[in-house]
Amino acid sequence: MTSPPIGYRIVVVGASAGGLHALRTLVSALPEDFDVPVVVVQHRAKESELLCELLQECSPMTVYEVTDKQEIGPGVFVGPPDYHLLLDRDGYFSLSTDEPVRYSRPSIDVMFESAADVYGMDTVGVVLTGANQDGAAGLRRIADAGGHCVVQDPDTSEVRVMPRFAVRAVPDACVLPLEEIGPHLAAIRGRRVPRCRSAA
């Protein structure tokens, strides 16, 4: 597993309704040499398999649909539909068909929590557009571990519910318009920044 010498070692992203556009915008703003693994959970129908291709179209980084026990390394990693995605401390992903958590499988909370457990303060969590409260508890977990939290500005979200719950759970998260999230991630690479603006 390669990781940059200092700063964040993992970026985890959760998206639901409206996520395709948001994710495309985010990944297209990351530089080709962005060497921090970007792990994505997007709620979607069982059979939808195009997501990776659609992201690859606009990402300079390689986009993978995660296979069980795949190594965590540079690239964009998308969890497959209908499986929970977990990061294991030995440096690879594990999938699980555990029951849905709060009606979701994959669950953003489950993925975020495992990232916070393994990477602690080296984690960046990003919650994007969506119509439920998945991601909020997981983002809280990342904040408690000392990680950096980013939430899509509800006003720039196709659906505001998920970002709103996330901000409620982590009031001092960095709230950014969609277009600024990718550049922000690129800018904080290799260093460490305070959680964000103090609770405004």
Partner 1 sequence: MAQAPKVQLPDTPAAYDRDLERIEVELLLEAVYRHYGFDFRSYAYSSLKRRVWKRIHQDGLNTITQLADRVLHDPAMMEKLLLDLSINVTAMFRDPGFYAAFREKVVPALRTYPFIRIWHAGCSTGEEVFSMAILLEEEGLYDRARIYATDINEVVLQRARAGIFPLDKMQEYTQNYLKAGGKRSFSEYYTALYDGALFNAALTRNVVFSQHNLVTDGSFSEFNVIVCRNVMIYFDRKLQNRVHGLFYESLGRFGTLALGNKETLRFTEFEDRYEVVDAREKIYRRLA
Q: Which residues does the annotation mark as catalytic?
A: 16, 43, 134
Nearer to partner 1, 100 or 177 (CB): 100
Q: How many Å apart are CA 170 and CA 57, to the nearest integer? A: 33
Contact between 148 and partner 1 by CB under 8 A: the answer reads no
> How many residues bind partner 1, per CB under 8 A?
36
For helices 51-58 and 19-28, give the axis angle rounded to 10 degrees: 30
Q: Does 69 bind partner 1 (CB under 8 A)?
A: yes
Min dist. Cβ of residue 187 to partner 1 (A):
29
Q: Is 53 in the site for partner 1 (CB under 8 A)?
A: no
Among 53, 57, 88, 179, interactor with partner 1 by CB under 8 A: 88
10 Å CB burial of residue 198 (0-12, 13-18, 19+) is exposed
Exactly one of 97, 194, 198, 200 binds partner 1 (CB under 8 A); which one?
A: 97
Q: Are 112 and 102 in contact (CB under 8 A)?
A: no
Please report where in the chains the tokens 């975020």 appear, as a residue: 112
